[in-house]
Amino acid sequence: MSGLSADPTLFRWTGGPDQTEDPTWAVNAIQAGGLEFTNDGTPDVRLKVTDTGQTAKPGDCLTHRDGTIRVIPAGVAPNACRHCGDDKYHHGNQWHRAVGFHKWIEPTDEQRKDRMKARALGGEK
Ligand SMILES: [Zn+2]
């Protein structure tokens, strides 16, 4: 298997030395400042998307589509809210920095697919 020729749009970030599959776009984004590490070298290491302020924890997935990098939190349900990732049935009206107060909003088809891939990479069904 060659991790270099296949450049996946979605990968699981481990935050540790076991990370073996950084895609080219992620490496480029780190070099260009589009992704930055915080608390590097500690158990609280995070990977922040500087454009959106979204932050990945180890085990979360990142996708790259149409020039935008998005974090897919580990364990998020495919049908969870487009903006905050909460499940429809206990969402209610809540605040999210990107959209303010909102009710559950249907995720896009791409989001659903990415979330399913992310769950598969995380060993979830
Ligand atoms: Zn929401």
Same-domain pairing of 57 and 102: no
pTM score? 0.83
Q: Give 61 Cα–ligand 1 centroid separation in angstroms.
A: 19
CB count within 10 Å of CB 36 equals: 14
**In whole angstroms, what is the distance from residue 22 CA to residue 111 CA?**
21
pLDDT at position 18 is 79
Give the full edge-to-edge strand order of the sheet including 10-12: 10-12, 61-65, 68-72
Tens-digit pLDDT profile for residues 23-32: 899 999 999 9
Spacing of C-alpha 75 from chain mean position:
11
Tens-digit pLDDT profile for residues 35-55: 999 998 898 999 999 998 999
Same-domain pairing of 66 and 96: no
Say if 49 falls within a structural domain.
Answer: yes
Same-domain pairing of 83 and 108: yes
Q: Give 72 Cα–ligand 1 centroid separation in angstroms.
A: 14
Q: Give 44 Cα–ligand 1 centroid separation in angstroms.
A: 25
Q: Which pair of tokens denotes residue 109?
A: 């088809």
pLDDT reading at 5 higher than 60 = no
- The number of distinct structural domains making up the chain is 2
Q: Give 27 Cα–ligand 1 centroid separation in angstroms.
A: 30
**In whole angstroms, what is the distance from residue 113 CA to residue 99 CA?**
22
